[in-house]
Amino acid sequence: MSSARRLRPDRGVALLLALLVTALCAILASAVLWRVDLWLTQVEVLHDARQAQRLALGGVDWGRAVLWERDRNQVSVDYLGEPWATRVPQIPVAGGEVGGQMFDEQARFNLASLPRAGADDDAAWQAYGRLLEALGLPPALAAALRARLSPSATPRLILSGTGSLDGVPGYSAPVLERLRAFVTVLPETGTAVNVNTASAEVLAAMVPGLTPGDARAVIARRAVEPFINVGAFITRLPEAAQGRVRPDALAVRSRYFRVDTFAKFGRGRAALSALLQRQAGAWPSIVWMRTP
């Protein structure tokens, strides 16, 4: 009897240890399964993100195809009444959705055309000053940028775009936000402003003596009646401004376009912005591509 009594506590301890081991194994198995499930979720999310990125890249190629088709059909005028300028809503494609919009970058004032410190040509700086005035911004911003803009700053400006202006005195976040829709930085100087796509403020900057109000009256019907050449635009200007136009600074066709695309696939989301450059007889090239 005494030996049987001694075995009962031992059996109880053994049973308790077995239960503890079982519970520990269950906890470890649950942790492993949780980690596996987390890993699978991460893999799925990564897969969806990559697929969304591919769809967004497809949107960029859509923009290139649009420009290529226009060149193939020898379209000589770019204006805002055409399908390329219409925002494409997200549409189902390849298991996901993709949409986007193209913008004429030559509708904006090209900051790369501003002469560097020491240059004699002030026409571009005068035009930039008129743009600041049309936008209700301090004219001192032109002087601040001119003092900071040196030849060594050009590559950084082209690479970073208007975001690189945040270190220039006076170019605060509200100023940059106001400028963003009216200026661009293109990889070459001397690009002409497209009179069929430019805003009234940019046209007022490019034509001395033209007010934004006059510019709005001139371009009121261009979406349905685009200017077929620069001469047609000049004849619509007030007489006092006609003789002050630099025809080489204006155009009715553009070489640089920006395409913004956005896509989703499952849990993945992607957005891309790319600057496209038309090339005679060739597929449009991508100057840069970045996430907005």
| Residue ranges covered by each domain of the chain | 1-107+253-292, 109-184, 192-249
In angstroms, rounded to a whole number, what is the distance separating the alpha carbons of residues 102 and 254?
Answer: 12
Produce one character per residue of 221-233: b if its CB has 16 or more CB atoms within 10 Å, e if not. ebeeebbeebeeb
Q: What is the pTM of this model?
A: 0.82
Per the CB < 8 A criterion, the answer to whether 271 and 289 are in contact is no
Per the CB < 8 A criterion, the answer to whether 192 and 229 are in contact is no
- With respect to CATH, is domain 1-107+253-292 assigned 3.40.1360.10? no
> What is the chain's pLDDT, residue by residue, as a tens digit (292 residues)?
555 555 556 666 666 666 666 766 766 666 555 565 544 455 566 778 888 899 999 999 999 999 999 999 999 999 999 999 999 898 888 788 999 999 999 999 999 888 765 555 689 999 999 999 999 999 999 998 888 776 555 555 544 567 778 788 899 999 999 999 999 999 898 899 999 999 999 999 999 999 999 999 999 989 889 999 999 999 999 999 999 999 999 999 999 999 999 999 888 899 999 999 999 889 999 999 998 7
Task: Write the DSSP assignment of 218-272 as a string of letters.
Answer: HTTTTTTS--SSHHHHHHTS-HHHHTT--GGGEESS-SEEEEEEEEEETTEEEEE
